[in-house]
Each structure stands twice: as structure tokens, then as C-alpha cells.
Amino acid sequence: MGKEQNKSNVELATFAGGCFWCIQQPFEKIEGVIDVIAGYANGNGEVPTYQDHKQKGYVEVVQVSYDPHKVSYEKLLDVFWRQIDPTDKGGQFYDRGPSYRTAILYHNLEQKNEAEKSLAILQESGRFSKPIATEIEPFKNFYPAEQYHQQYYAKNPEHYQAYKKGSGREDFLSKVWNKEIPDEETLRKKLTPLQFDVIRREGTEPAFRNEYWDNKKPGIYVDRVSGEPLFSSLDKYDSGTGWPSFTQPLEAENIKEKEDTKLFVPRIEVRSQKADSHLGHVFDDGPGPSGQRFCINSAALRFIPLEDLEKEGYGKYKTLFKNENIKD
């Protein structure tokens, strides 16, 4: 990545999650992350290599440089948990042994406290039946891995995908984190016909005759099926199209894009990451620095007003609205 950044605004976070190939990409997608480097940490001896890092007691990690004013350490922890099996003491999936253990290597006391809190919340959530085995330990040292390991997912996409799938990681993560998504029969009962058509059949609701096209209240928009945060009212603007329009996502990693060739002119479809809901499309005719316009169907969204963020479980987003007045 290597983005330009004022060093005074940069902090480090270090995570061990098994093979470092598989945990580099998820962090690189996050707004506020400056750089992600695969490497070796908390071992003995200098300059470990891929050939000898196990013998020297190093663990495979990614070191994340981030701007704490744009992304919180809490958010990075949430991304980390979603890439691993935290109950496995002996490694991760195909890869066995101490060098593939999971660990959060904290750089200061604040990170230590956040990590312990995050682990406790995950354990109490009941998502895993076994105890969380991920270790929380002080950061000791770090050495970047060889260049061919950096952004391996982009350099060797076919081998990377085959490895991630074949190792069992992809299926495990999908099962654990998507298990609360209802099946189609349940969704048909839960959603209105229009909502189901939009979300599961890539339909489009009428312009100017939908729930949120002119909603001006402060708050966030979440996926109607999964509840994953998608957009903020702070990035919403009147595009004149008759659909909710946003200049950027609230959480970039909760959005995925794919080419849509159903019409004569190819478009970029926008879907939610977790529920795989069809949301709308993104165009290059928006305002501001990005020039993007996320044109989204109201039917795929649920609006959480600012005053309800805490009770709905989205309290961490309240700080985004410091200059907004809550109206009871």
C-alpha cells in the first residue's frame, strides 16, 4: 500500500493469524489503514527467513500501520477475529505448529486492554463452543517477510484462492460468520415482496417512491438482512436520481463490487459482504474527491437514527456525529 502519511498520526497493530497470506488482504481494505506488511514476530535471533523462522521461535504475523483518527484499534480487532479460528491451539487449518498460532501482540497498555475486552466479548457471544485460545502478549520484535510473500493474494491469485479454499479456512469462516443469515424461504417470510426482489433477485425499486431517498436524519444505514453497517448519513447527498446516494461506504470491508453485464453498458454492482444482499450500483459521477456515487436501493437498507445507535448495538458510531443534535 505505502500511502503518504504524517508519521505522528500513525500507530502499529500486530496480529498472528496463521499463514500471513490470508490475513493481509482483509486489513488492506480498511479506510484508515496505511500499510500492511507480512512478517515474523516475537522470536529469537536477528533477520529470520521463511526457511528458519520456525526454528528461531518466530510466529507469522501482519503488522498494520493505521491512522487512529480514521480507524480504531477496536475495529482492527473485529477484522482480525473474522479471519481465524480462535479456538485452535495448535495452528490454523492446514498449517500446524507454534509459528502458525493465533495471537494479538499489543504495543501499549491501551491495546492490551482493548484486546482483552474484545476477547471476552467474543467468548461470551456464544459464537464458539470451545474456549478462545488466541494469546494476548506484548510485542517484542518484527521483521518483514520476503518480498514474494507481500500481497501474495494479488501476485498469485489462483494459487492463493486454491490454498485458502483447500486449507478449510474459507469454508470455516463462511460457516461461522454467515450462520445467522436466513435461508431464502425464511427471507421470503421476513421481507416484503419488493425487498426480497431487490435483495435476492437484483431488482430495482421505483425512483422517488422509496423509503430513504429523501431521508435527512442523522444516523447509519445497515444491511436489512444481516445488520452489517454499510453507509452513514454524513456521506449521503441529494443526487437528484430518486434513490439514496452516498459518496463512500461507512465500512469499506462490508461492501463488495462485481461487474454487472445485464444491461448493454457494463456497470459495477454493489453487494453486502456478509449477507450477499444486492444493494445497488456505484458510478463515477459523484461529488467530492472520490467522484463516486453509491446508488442504493432503500429496500436493501435499514436506517438506524442517531438516538437509537446505542440501544441497537451500534454505539461506537456515535462519535461520528459530534456536531449533530439528537432529536427525541
Cell 463490487 locates to: 257
Has residue 209 got a pLDDT over 90? yes
Has residue 136 got a pLDDT over 90? yes
**pTM of the entire structure?**
0.58
Cα distance between residue 246 and residue 240, in whole Å: 12
Angle 157-169-131 (CA atoms, 0-180°, nearest 5)? Answer: 150
Classified as helix, coil or strand, 143 is strand
Cell 469462516 locates to: 173
Cα distance between residue 64 and residue 251, in whole Å: 17
Catalytic choice (16, 19, 234, 299): 19
Has residue 5 got a pLDDT over 80? no
Could you tell me which residue, 151 or 136, shows the higher pLDDT? Answer: 136
Collect contacts of 110-115 with beta carbons under 8 A, ≥24 apart: 110/73, 111/13, 111/73, 112/136, 112/138, 114/73, 114/74, 114/77, 115/77
Cell 500492511 locates to: 36
Active site residue 19: yes
Cα distance between residue 56 and residue 46, in whole Å: 9
Could you tell me which residue, 56 or 175, shows the higher pLDDT? Answer: 56
CB contact set of 146 (below 8 Å; sequence gap of 6+): 49, 50
Query: Rounded mean pLDDT of 121-138?
Result: 88
C-alpha cell at 225: 438482512
* Secondary structure letter of residue 324 according to DSSP: P
Residue 259 Cα distances to 59, 248, 249, 265, 268, angstroms: 38, 18, 18, 11, 5
Kindly state the greatest CA–CA separation across the chain.
Answer: 66
Q: In CATH, which of 3.30.565.10, 3.30.9.10, 3.30.1360.170, 3.30.1060.10 is domain 7-177?
A: 3.30.1060.10
Cα distance between residue 268 and residue 284, in whole Å: 10
Among 112, 168, 173, 119, CA closest to 137: 112
Query: Residue 220: how many CB atoms within 10 A of its CB?
Result: 27
Distance of CA 46 to the CA centre of its chain: 33
Cα distance between residue 271 and residue 165, in whole Å: 21
pLDDT tens track for 227-266? 999 999 999 999 999 999 999 999 988 898 888 887 778 8
Cell 465500512 locates to: 251
Among 52, 62, 49, 51, CA closest to 18: 62
Give the number of C-alpha atoms closer than 13 A to the C-alpha of residue 202, restricted to the C-beta side: 12
Catalytic choice (41, 295, 306, 309): 295
Cα distance between residue 236 and residue 298, in whole Å: 13
C-alpha cell at 66: 493505521
The four Cα atoms 104, 109, 111, 113 give a dihedral, to 10 degrees, of 90
What are the domain boundaries of the chain? 7-177, 184-321
Could you tell me which residue, 118 or 264, shows the higher pLDDT? Answer: 118
Cα distance between residue 60 and residue 170, in whole Å: 19
CB contact set of 46 (below 8 Å; sequence gap of 6+): 143
Calculate the average pLDDT of the chain. Answer: 90
C-alpha cell at 203: 431488482
| Fold held by 184-321 | 2.170.150
pLDDT tens track for 68-101? 998 899 989 989 999 999 999 999 998 999 999 9
- At 208, the pLDDT band (50, 70, 90 cuts) reads very high
